[in-house]
Copies of this chain bind each other. A is one copy, B any other.
């Protein structure tokens, strides 16, 4: 039976768990939470107008990200400015410091995270990365 294999989640789960273990100390060193980093990435890559839109973009409930936004704003990494055209809305934007923080954290994370692919030969690591990027881009 050639199709005997583990479930995708059973194979991907442990990798993601290892990635968390690698990233959490890095995030802590930069004094940013995991969700804070997710928000900075989202705002930097594809700016959104409202908090609802941001929540939807990162797969969270609008009520769940408020504490994260409070922290990021207090740290000067994002701004929430009232929308003059619709005073219910608070327009979101990443600040220059937020962008710098995002870049700094990402540099550290990307320098450390590839160790989870150590089980593959170098050529296969490149292929895996390429396919994963392709898959991610297609969403």
- Chain A interfacial positions (CB closer than 8 Å to B): 3, 5-17, 19-20, 23, 38, 41, 59, 106, 109-110, 113-114, 116-117, 119-120, 124, 127-129, 131-139
Q: Is the CB of A120 within 8 A of B133?
A: no
Instruction: Give the distance to chain B from A18, nearest Cβ to Cβ, in Å.
Output: 9
Q: Is the CB of A128 within 8 A of B131?
A: yes
With beta carbons under 8 angstroms apart, the residue of B113, B134, B137 that contacts A8 is B113
Copies per complex? 2
Q: Is the CB of A7 within 8 A of B110?
A: yes
With beta carbons under 8 angstroms apart, the residue of B6, B59, B131, B139 that contacts A136 is B6
Q: Is the CB of A119 within 8 A of B134?
A: yes
Q: Is the CB of B124 within 8 A of A134?
A: yes
Q: Is the CB of A120 within 8 A of B138?
A: yes
Given known contacts A12-B16, A12-B19, A135 and B117 CB-to-CB distance under 8 angstroms = yes
Instruction: Give the distance to chain B from A46, nearest Cβ to Cβ, in Å.
Output: 12
Q: Is the CB of A120 within 8 A of B131?
A: yes
Q: Please, which residues of chain B bring their CB within 8 A of the CB of A20?
A: 9
